[in-house]
């Protein structure tokens, strides 16, 4: 990787702290466990007794360190290896200790002397003989932080291969692979990609959809919001009456709920609310229509909850089928809706969305023919690049072949199969939580150009039936503000903003 001109951020001195902090020691233990188990970071943190034993401040730091290292480890390793004589011989304990300190230096802005000293102490706890090496490596990293993020090494060499310095700098600032950063820029433009990179190490805001059957949920949320001092909720009318309290808010949606306070209540346990990103709620609401609705890829049922809650709140008379490949997720969906009192009129099916004749055979049998639907939502498996700050494993586990071939092929197959289940005049929605055009616009274009898509016309998401209702006027304005010239809905993560989601709405000609 070469060297960077040193722009020191202050004297590092030689002060030594007495031992690594509890938060950093716990973070190191969890990172080592993740390497052995291959588990997801958030699952490991939720299950960790060591994290629970920390006070609130230390627990927060430990979680941020683990999630941050997992999200950026490729960048961290490149930087560590650049200052190591024999990086291949570094044991995992030393490497993960260096990753923690490097993450603090590069992305958290921890005071350099503290970050270096704590990194050395972490190494000392695990490999005393490597403390001198760790001190030397971390000091050099601290000195080159700004030059590294600015990609000065690439600027000095000109373009390195096909990656210009601006792309490399953007990748480093977001802790992302360079190939993925190039795809992101190609898909959403450089300015939006900068917003995404700036949000990668910040917590995503939490939004919930309120259960209209839970008479206490609204007051419980008011108490949580007021106690935290949040301003974006601004309750002014009962949620059940369809309040619009902020640009883009849907009826029944509450934004910026403090997650720690929410977890401290029984709202989730009793299904008084469902946690769901605002933009995912927009898509679920767009999928509503009078008559029968089909949800392909219902997962654990978050969008199912929103659809059923919104249908009752908005007075949309519909029944629905929630189809999911995983039997366990189907069971979780069913149990939550039953607990919420929202299961009436919902059928649950387990099966492959690429073979609806088999998966919906019981539904078809009752209909005495192939069941058709007024609205079909294909919530397609995708890269999840719009939700990377929530799922830190995504950027470094994702491969080019996933977004070039495997995922688009599956997505197109699901969309093609679902098209045959839409009634004339009905709508077909294709949704992902990706920001990559390979999975979004390209899949929709390929479908519309196919024989199956010839009967469909692309229509604005903002013209979906629910958004034509007066109570959803504010939400419709929000959707229009995020539509492209062809009416396709696309959002991109940014600091204090919600996740990246895509939705295209196609109507079957009569």
3-state secondary structure 317-367: CEEEEEEECCHHHHHHHHHHHHHHCCCCCEEEEECCCCCHHHHCHHHHHHH
Q: Please report the pLDDT score of residue 368 as a whole number.
A: 86
pLDDT of amino acid 175: 98
Report the range of poorest mean pLDDT among 22-26, 260-264, 276-280, 366-370.
Answer: 260-264
182: which 2 tokens? 């190039």
How many residues are listed for the chain in this entry?
510
CA-to-CA distance for 311 and 290, rounded, in angstroms?
9
Statement: residue 477 has pLDDT above 50:
yes
pLDDT recorded at residue 13: 52
User: Residues 414-424: what's their mean pLDDT?
Assistant: 98
Minimum mean pLDDT among 129-138, 404-413, 435-444: which range? 129-138
Q: Read off the DSSP letter of residue 487.
A: S
pLDDT value, residue 237:
39
Q: pLDDT category, 128, cuts 50, 70, 90?
A: confident
- Using DSSP's 3-state secondary structure scheme, residue 169 falls into helix
Q: What is the pLDDT of residue 250?
A: 86
User: pLDDT tens digit string along 234-264?
Assistant: 333 333 333 333 444 789 998 888 888 898 8
Task: Output 157 or 485, whichever has higher pLDDT.
Answer: 485
Average pLDDT over residues 134-145: 95
pLDDT in tens, 349-358: 999 999 999 9
Check residue 470 and report its DSSP letter.
Answer: G
Express each pLDDT in 279-327 by its tens digit: 999 999 999 999 999 999 999 999 999 999 999 999 999 999 999 999 9
- Residue 446: which of 497, 413, 412 has the closest Cα? 412
pLDDT of residue 460: 98
Select the more confidently predicted residue: 368 or 314. Answer: 314
pLDDT for res 185: 97
Mean pLDDT value across residues 394-420: 98
Query: What is the structure's pLDDT at 240?
Result: 36
- Min mean pLDDT across 150-159, 320-329, 383-392, 425-434 is at 150-159
Average pLDDT of the chain is: 90
* Contact (Cβ atoms closer than 8 angstroms) between residue 186 and residue 174: no
Say whether pLDDT at 429 is over 50: yes
Cα(229)–Cα(286) distance, rounded to whole angstroms?
31
- With contact defined as beta carbons under 8 Å apart, do 286 and 467 qualify? yes
Looking at residue 8, what is its pLDDT?
43
Read off the pLDDT band of 218 (50, 70, 90). Answer: confident
- At residue 224, the pLDDT reads 85
pLDDT, mean of residues 139-154: 94
Angle value at C-alpha 276, between 266 and 465, nearest 5 degrees: 125
Long-range contacts of 33-40 (CB under 8 A, 24+ apart): 34/66, 34/70, 35/92, 35/96, 40/391, 40/393
Q: State mean pLDDT over 415-419.
A: 98
Is the model's pLDDT at 98 over the cut of 60? yes
Nearest to 219 by CA among 255, 267, 281, 275: 267
Q: pLDDT tens, 74-95?
A: 999 999 999 998 888 899 999 9
Structure-block tokens of residue 179: 């190939």
| Span of 166-170, 246-250, 341-345 with lowest mean pLDDT | 246-250
């Amino acid at each position: 990787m070469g060297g960077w001109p040193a722009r020191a951020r202050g004297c590092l001195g030689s002060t030594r702290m007495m031992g690594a902090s509890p938060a950093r020691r716990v973070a190191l233990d969890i990172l080592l466990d993740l390497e052995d188990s291959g588990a997801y970071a958030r699952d490991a943190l939720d299950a960790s007794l060591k994290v629970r034993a920390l006070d609130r401040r230390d627990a927060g730091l430990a979680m941020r360190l683990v999630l941050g290292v997992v999200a950026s480890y490729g960048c961290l390793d490149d930087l560590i290896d650049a200052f190591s004589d024999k990086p291949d011989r570094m044991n995992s304990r030393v490497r993960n200790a260096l990753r923690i300190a490097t993450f603090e230096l590069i992305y958290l802005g921890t005071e350099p002397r503290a970050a270096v000293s704590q990194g050395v102490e972490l190494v000392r706890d695990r490999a005393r003989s490597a403390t001198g090496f760790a001190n030397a490596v971390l000091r050099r990293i601290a000195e080159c932080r700004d030059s590294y993020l600015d990609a000065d090494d690439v600027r000095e060499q000109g373009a390195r291969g096909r990656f210009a310095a601006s792309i490399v700098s953007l990748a480093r600032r977001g802790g992302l692979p360079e190939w993925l950063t190039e795809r992101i820029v190609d898909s959403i433009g450089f300015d939006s990609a900068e917003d995404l990179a700036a949000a990668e190490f910040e917590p995503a805001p939490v939004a919930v959809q309120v259960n209209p059957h839970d008479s206490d949920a609204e007051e419980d949320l008011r108490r949580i919001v007021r106690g935290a001092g949040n301003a974006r909720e601004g309750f002014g009318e009962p949620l059940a009456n369809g309040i619009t309290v902020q640009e883009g808010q849907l009826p029944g949606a509450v934004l910026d709920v403090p997650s720690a306070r929410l977890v401290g209540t029984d709202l989730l346990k009793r299904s008084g609310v469902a946690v769901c990103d605002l933009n995912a709620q927009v898509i679920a609401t767009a999928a509503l229509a009078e008559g029968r609705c089909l949800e392909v890829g219902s997962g654990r049922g978050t969008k199912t909850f929103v659809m059923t809650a919104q249908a009752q709140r908005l007075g949309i008379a519909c029944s629905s089928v929630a189809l999911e490949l995983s039997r366990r997720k189907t069971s979780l969906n069913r149990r939550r809706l039953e607990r919420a009192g929202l299961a009436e009129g919902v059928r649950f099916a387990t099966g492959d969305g690429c073979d609806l004749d088999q998966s919906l055979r019981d539904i078809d049998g009752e209909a005495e023919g192939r069941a058709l639907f007024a609205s079909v939502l294909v919530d397609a498996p995708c890269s999840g690049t719009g939700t990377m700050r929530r799922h830190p494993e995504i950027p470094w586990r994702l491969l080019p072949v996933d977004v070039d071939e495997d995922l688009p092929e599956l997505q197109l197959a699901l969309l093609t199969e679902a098209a045959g289940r839409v009634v004339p005049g009905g709508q077909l929605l294709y949704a992902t939580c990706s920001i990559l055009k390979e999975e979004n616009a390209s899949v929709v274009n390929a479908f519309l150009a196919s024989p199956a898509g010839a009967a469909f016309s692309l229509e604005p998401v903002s013209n979906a039936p629910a958004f034509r209702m007066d109570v959803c006027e504010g939400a419709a304005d929000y959707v229009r503000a995020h539509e492209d010239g062809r009416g396709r809905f696309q959002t991109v993560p940014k600091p204090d903003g919600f996740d990246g989601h895509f939705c295209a709405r196609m109507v079957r000609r009569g």
